[in-house]
Structure 1
């Protein structure tokens, strides 16, 4: 499926098997940026994160990390994320806002507290990733601090429809989770990873990374 923009980003976690050969193969497939899960909730940390960060950055990939949300205290979640990911100035940072895998979902108020704490700590706004839950929780919200955050939009359809009104445009669009038929192409070493496209050209992606 042809997608708009620079179709050159994947996102992964410990669920993907990563090898040096595989990393080189995805570069040959046109991928230039990788966003990896770093943490979740108040205490989970992806044990593969730092080794893979070192590998991909050594091969010249743009790098980013994300924190998977929960209903735990935003202060504790931000501490868990930033203390573990230790994001550098050239690395994308992101709040992954979707249904929690442990207990209740992060509320709208907790999301706002999280992004404001991150901004206070590192001097820039995180990207916000989300799909149906993000649309639902923002449906009755007007102006919001979330508008300061670049939008990484999850929508598995032919176009990124239904963008929450707090944003005028998406920065990244996750158009496939690798299993929904939208992008069936296998990438050696990864199978079918989540695929993301940047709302702009490849040169603009390189110039604007880490997007915030």
Structure 2
């Protein structure tokens, strides 16, 4: 029997070489288009479960600098079916004075806790509104705006109802920009907000994060003159705003507040929240 006095045995070298080849092949595979989606298949959530800010912490949560908070802010929350039945009195007593409730997603989902959340926030005295989680790869902007309005996204000048929100952000189910070009995304958003205004008489609030807006709309500046901005940034400052907006109306600053739901600052005192509600 041959004795190998130094180095590695041929069989050992063969196993190492095979392992190296496998790792190289895997690295190459992961650089191919669609590989990330394939690798992430196991963690894609169920349709309808998306919620406001779901992608913010992973993609845009750590940036700082830029615009800071003003002296007067009014605390609010946003909730979805994930929160179930909400203890609205507890939130009210903690200082929360306004709320947004998820109503719909795409054209296939309605929040099963909507009635408790929407009516419950109103009953404790909050000014409240609803939001729609957009899926631009499933149906048109107009179709989704109509679905939203028909299923809880309407508006009335009662002093307690905020205009509806288009939640447009990272796609939890696939490609970040839903397979759309920047021009295509801008067209989709415009289709939604124009339809929403035609149905309700109000300009929809746009909820987004600056980095997503840059990537997926090319930092389009045409909505700032008409649609209030709700910007997501989990930090001590709101940071850079998307193009076209000189200030934010609302800022989602954390997904882990002391009480239920994501927590937000309204950029002004409570009378400014009422002014937005009244149009």
TM-score (norm 2): 0.65
Task: Please say if 1:26 is aligned against 2:52.
Answer: no
Which one of 268, 272, 279 corresponds to residue 200 of structure 1? 268
Per-residue CA deviation, residues 144-198 of structure 1 (Å, 9 max, x unaligned), is 14531000000112211110121110000001111xxxx5xx22xx3xx211001
Question: Partners of 1:25 and 1:3 in 2: how far apart?
Answer: 25
**Aligned residue for 1:118?**
196
Q: How far apart are 1:18 and its partner, in Å?
A: 2.6
- Kept in 1, the 8 Å contact 2:146–2:195? The answer is no
CA distance in 2, matches of 1:37, 1:82: 12
Q: For residues 213 and 204 of structure 2, what CA distance do their matches in structure 1 show?
A: 15
Residue 61 of structure 1 is matched in structure 2 by 126
Specify every segment of 5 or more residues in structure 1 that has no aligned partner in the other structure, as ranges.
Answer: none
Matched-pair contact (CA < 8 Å) for 1:6–1:205 = no
- Corresponding residue of 2:103: 38
Q: CA deviation at 1:123?
A: 1.0
1:15 to 82, 93, 97: 82
Please tell me whether Structure 1 or Structure 2 has the larger radius of gyration of its CA atoms. 2
- Please state how far the C-alpha of 1:43 moved relative to its aligned partner: 1.9
Q: Distance in 2 between matches of 1:9 and 1:91?
A: 12
More strand by share: 1
- Aligned-pair Cα RMSD in Å: 2.1
Query: CA offset at residue 10 of structure 1?
Result: 0.3
Greater per-residue helix proportion: 2
Q: How far has the Cα of 1:34 moved from its partner?
A: 0.9
Counterpart contact for 1:64–1:93, Cα < 8 Å:
yes
**Would you say the 8 A contact 1:13–1:36 is kept in 2?**
yes
Task: Find the aligned partners of 2:174 and 2:215 in 1 and give their Cα distance.
Answer: 18
Q: Deviations over 1:95-150 (max 9, x none)?
A: 00012334552722101111111111111100000013123234453x41453100
Q: How has the CA–CA distance of structure 1 residues 205 and 145 changed in structure 2, closer, same or farther, with 3 Å as cutoff? A: closer
Q: Which runs of 5+ in 2 are unaligned?
A: 1-67
**Residue number in structure 1 paired with 2:208:** 130
Partner of 1:94: 165
Q: What's the CA shift for 1:211? A: 7.4
Q: Distance in 1 between matches of 2:278 and 2:106?
A: 24
C-alpha deviation, 1:30, in angstroms: 0.5
Residue 73 (structure 2) pairs with residue 6 (structure 1) = yes
Aligned mates of 1:52, 1:201 — CA distance in 2: 23
Residue 86 to residue 167, structure 1, CA distance change in 2 (3 Å): closer
For the residues of structure 2 that align with 1:86 and 1:118, how far apart are their CA atoms?
9
* 2:153 maps to 1:82: no
Label 1:129 to 1:54 Cα distance change in 2 as closer, same or farther (>3 A): same
Q: What's the TM-score once normalised by structure 1's chain length?
A: 0.84
